[in-house]
Every structure is written in structure tokens, then in C-alpha cells.
Structure 1
């Protein structure tokens, strides 16, 4: 069975495991006060070209979103996201469990724009409504599309003008940064957001995301809120080691680029064979449209996710390539198309 379900099913890149093995019995300071977390932060600051952001290592993406949004918002404040937003359909109501409403904006390509956000902001200012305060986006988006610098800057400028926060879920930020559609760098994400996270779990790490807080007012007591929500690992050096390895020689970008290249190869073959995609292929998530019979046939040898009913007996599915996907696996899938 060839596996195209997600990009986090392998334990981790061998270089990470090798580095961990070097420190198996070496005592480390706990709770993030260790030399590995310190060096990982230095490497990330170098990538961003600045050191004024607070960096926190958090075990997973859902926890990063939960803790960040819970910390950044007052009880009556709400989030705006795209209708496909990960926090809406894939995190078991984690945000709502902290009392924060999520307003959804239509976005056919998965990307939010100021003109879609503004009506929700304008129509929810009365005292009997939850007030929008934070704009949530992900890059890559839930449907694999990638934001341009112009689009991110427009969102940031809009949020600045309306006293809103722009928060970027970067679970697949590696894929976004190495996408052929991308013109952003980590320095740009630091410049044009109030907080964002750099995803490790879906790009070769065993666990872990690096949350970067840029807006000064959001930094106060953040570690206390992390602790309250179980988001500080006693063995935080495990995450620090992983981000050291990922960023000391460009491995983070190499792994994401591998996944993207194989996804582009698959997307090109799909289109050559006459299959439509729900979105242009821009990252390591590809969404082709098949008949039910073709899906059944492919499932005999390939694992992937159903996505949506597209009408007229057609259905979209999701293929995801990872840092560990073999080109031979992609070739086998192409032959089966």
C-alpha cells in the first residue's frame, strides 16, 4: 500500500534521530531553559533577520492554536477565519471550548482577503455580539493554496487599520515557503503578522511547532498561559534539538521542497490525463476529482483521504506528499491513474 494520507506519519528525519541519540543520557535543563532551545531560537532569529519576537516551542499545531488564541483574546472577542479554516472543522471545537466564537468568511480558494473580512467586522460591533478581534489564516491553506506577499501584507495592513490581530497557522509553512507560488520569507512572516508558528510536525520533526509572537502586548504572561494549558514540555529540549537540526543547514527547506516537487509531478500527470483539480497545485496537497469507481479502484493500492462531493457523480480526494515520500510511490500512482 502506497501512502498519501498526510505528511506526519513517519517518525522523523534520520538526522533528527541521530542528533537525539547523541544526547540520550546527557542531562538537560527542563521546561525550555536549555542550550538546545536557545540555539534553535538563535537559528530562527537569523532566518527572520531580527530577534524581537518571542519564540515558544509547543508540542503540536492544535495546541499552538488553542493557547495562542486563548491568550490573545478577551472572553467576548471572536476569531474570523475562512470557511475551510482548520480551527473550524478539524480541532474538535478547541477554540470554542475557551468561549471564543469563530465567524466564517467565504473563500473559494481557501485564502482570506480584507473584502471578505470587513463585512463581518462591521456587522458585529454591538454589545450583544461577539466582537471580531483576531484574523486566522493558514499558509499553506487547508486546500493547498499559498499566500503571496501582497496578499499577506494587505491582510496585515487591514488588521492594523482596524485594531485586529493577524495570526498565521504555519503547520505547513515549510511547504508554503518552498512553493513555486511563494514570494515570502520567514522575515516577511515576522514583519507582516502579529504572531505565527513554524510547523515542524508536518515537515520532518517528531513533534513540535515554534510559535513566534511579534506584537509586544501579546507577549506578557504567555508562558504562564502555556503552562496552564499543558503546552510546556518538561523535556522541551527534545523540541529544541529538532529545530536545531532543521534550521542549521537548510534541512527544513530541503524536506519541504522534496514534498512539493513530488506533488507538482503528480499534479502535472493528473492534468495531462484529463483530471480536474479543485485548486491549482501550489504545495504538497493535491485535490483531484474522480468518479466513485476510480476512487474505489485506486484504494486497492493507495491510501488517501476523501474530500468533498463535487456533483454529477464526481468526488474530490486529497493526496499529500511528505518529506519521506518516494518518487517510486508517485510514479506508481501516476501509472494507476
Structure 2
């Protein structure tokens, strides 16, 4: 991992554990962009680098060219919006967890396309077949209610948990029974696949979903996501890209990055590093007796801390305050990344330990 600046001065800006996109891009990706910069290429994602990236991704999925189409878009919101808009009629609705990214982190982007969101409470951050079936049955008063047509999930979940193959298989079977499409948001699919709790391959995910996408923005790329669409749903998809402003003239910029991420498994190496840094932070919290709000399966740590400890940590580190509890304690979210410096993690853990001892 590239070393970050290790400022020992008290005036040094706090080190960020806020998200997994505070840094720019992995040096290999920047080198690839520079190396290919002067070549002339066909525009709008039809360049040789984008095509090579598609080939490499299909190899990792273990699928043939005629099984899936792959489209590159600049952001996660555009990936979700376009995937949903491409396969729903105006009166059709999306079933999603109330913590889902499309429900609370995308400024109503899906609703802006005219599609209702049917909200469901999560169980360990995930959708269950029972909750899915209940939501479906509660929205059957046609034509007075929007018709459920698609289930949206994310892996890893919004609290960093991961779906097992059995869990996804059960959801997939339920979707088929209810005639629902299944979309998986893969903003952090790399950390999900590299989790010690994961038992799925990309091929499993391809077989059990209708559309899923592979996040590059949170995996060491400058920007970009790769949407994998089953062939039967791919017709006309490119028109949705164009209408939503996601068909980039210089599509090569995303293609080069995914080519580099999947050429020699850099994508998985970086995700494994992010997970290991989170595991190190999580283990320290547990050792000191703090309660984790969610199991640390990927690169997100959710922990309940005294507000005094949170305030002290904020002087030296940046992280997200997830919730203020009635008893004065706080739930914080810590996110590690492909570039998280292990020395900074050690410093964070040392400060937590020191102030825990002082506070007792």
C-alpha cells in the first residue's frame, strides 16, 4: 500500500477514517492512465481498454460474451438509477431496505424517475425472504398501488455485513416466485467478496441476480462502476446511459481503470487490505470491552462509545457519527480503504486504549 504522510505534529490535520474514497487512486491505475494517455481511441466506451476490461471482468465472472453485457458509468448513484430505470415501467416499484443507499443516500434519485420505493426494515443489515414476501403482499391493491417489480440489495450491506450464498439463493428463489427482478448494488462488492465470512464467487452473484455492479470508486479507482447486465435485459441499456448523462465521450478513462484493477487481481488485493485494517480496529474495540453495533465482516466498523472518547478521537481522526443514543453514548462508523495506513491504524488503536484507561 502507498504510504501516507505521517505527521507527528499536533497541528497535523486529522487522519481520515471517514470513507473509502478520501484518497485519489492507486498508483498503478494512475500509471496506466498516463501510459495510455496519448493513444487515440474510439469514443463512448468502445475503446480497446474498455473492451479489454469487459473481457477481464467476464473472465473473473466465468461467463461468456453472450451471457452478459457490461457498461461503465461514473458513479454509484448513476449505476443504481440507470439499472432501475432501464427495466421498470413507470407504474412499477422497488422494494428496498429502509437503510438502503437508494432510500437515504441518493437524494430521491429513484423517486425522481417516477418509481416508488417500498421500504422494509433490515435484519443484520440485510433483506430476508420473510420481509420481502410481506412487503410484496402488502402492495397488491392494483391498480391503486404501485406494482412491486424489483428488489434492491447491496453487498456489502450499509452496515458492512455480507450475504451468504444460501441467503442470496433464498432471496433469488423468492424473487423468481414473485416475478421480481433482483439488483445488487456492488459499491463495496470487493470487500464483500474478500470477507472471511464470504462463500460466494462472482459467478454465484451473476447466476443469482439479474443485474449487479462492481464498484471501482471505493476500490482504488479515481471513479467508475461496471454494471453487469444479463443479456435478456441489456437491449437498449445504452440509451438509458445516454439519457442520464452517463455515456462518457472519454469512456476510456473508466475502461483503463477497470482493466488495471482486474488484470492481476489488484481489485481483490486492495479490498483484502481494507478489510484487514477494519478487522484490526474492530478487534481492539472488542478487546477493550466496547460493543460493536454490527459484525465487522468487511471494511466498516460500527461501535458504541462514550461521547468523551469520541470527542477526544475527533481531535486526531475523522470518522462518521452514525447515531446519538439516549444515554449520551454515540455510535460511530469507521471506514478503512485500499490506502489506509497500518501505522495510522496502530496510532488510532493506541489512542483508544490510552483514553479508555484514563476514563476508567
TM-score by length of 2: 0.92
Summarize the alignment of residues 107-256 of structure 1 with structure 2, pairs less than 5 Å apart.
Answer: 107-126=122-141, 127-214=143-230, 216=232, 218-256=233-271
Shift of 1:333: 0.7
Higher-Rg structure is 2
Deviation of 1:309 after TM superposition, in Å, equals 2.5
Tell me the SS of whatever aligns to 2:136.
Answer: helix
1:219 and 1:145 map into 2 onto residues whose CA distance is: 29
Classify the secondary structure of the residue corresponding to 1:75. coil
Which residue among 271, 284, 288 is the counterpart of 2:299?
284
Partner SS for 2:149: strand
Deviation (angstroms), 1:215:
5.5
Q: Which runs of 4+ in 1 moved over 4 A?
A: none
Residue 106 of structure 2: SS of its match in structure 1?
Answer: coil
- Unpaired runs of 5+ residues, structure 1, are none
Q: How far apart in 2 are the matches of 1:220 and 1:253?
A: 30
Q: How does 1:1-337 map to 2 (within 5 A)?
A: 1-51=14-64, 52-126=67-141, 127-214=143-230, 216=232, 218-337=233-352
Cα separation, 2, equivalents of 1:310 and 1:215? 47
What 5-or-longer segments of structure 2 have no aligned partner? 1-13, 353-360
Pairwise CA RMSD? 0.9
SS at match of 2:219: coil
Q: Give the whole-Å Cα distance in 2 for the aligned partners of 1:112 and 1:64.
A: 20
Residue 97 (structure 1) shift? 0.4
Indicate conservation of the 8 Å contact 2:56/2:263, yes or no: yes
State the distance in 1 between where 2:324 and 2:16 align: 22
Q: Is the 8 A contact 2:73 2:79 kept in 1?
A: yes
Structure 2 Cα separation of the partners of residues 108 and 291 of structure 1: 26
Residues 114-173 of structure 1, C-alpha deviations (whole Å, 9 max, x = no match) = 100111111212210011111000000001101101001111111011110110000000
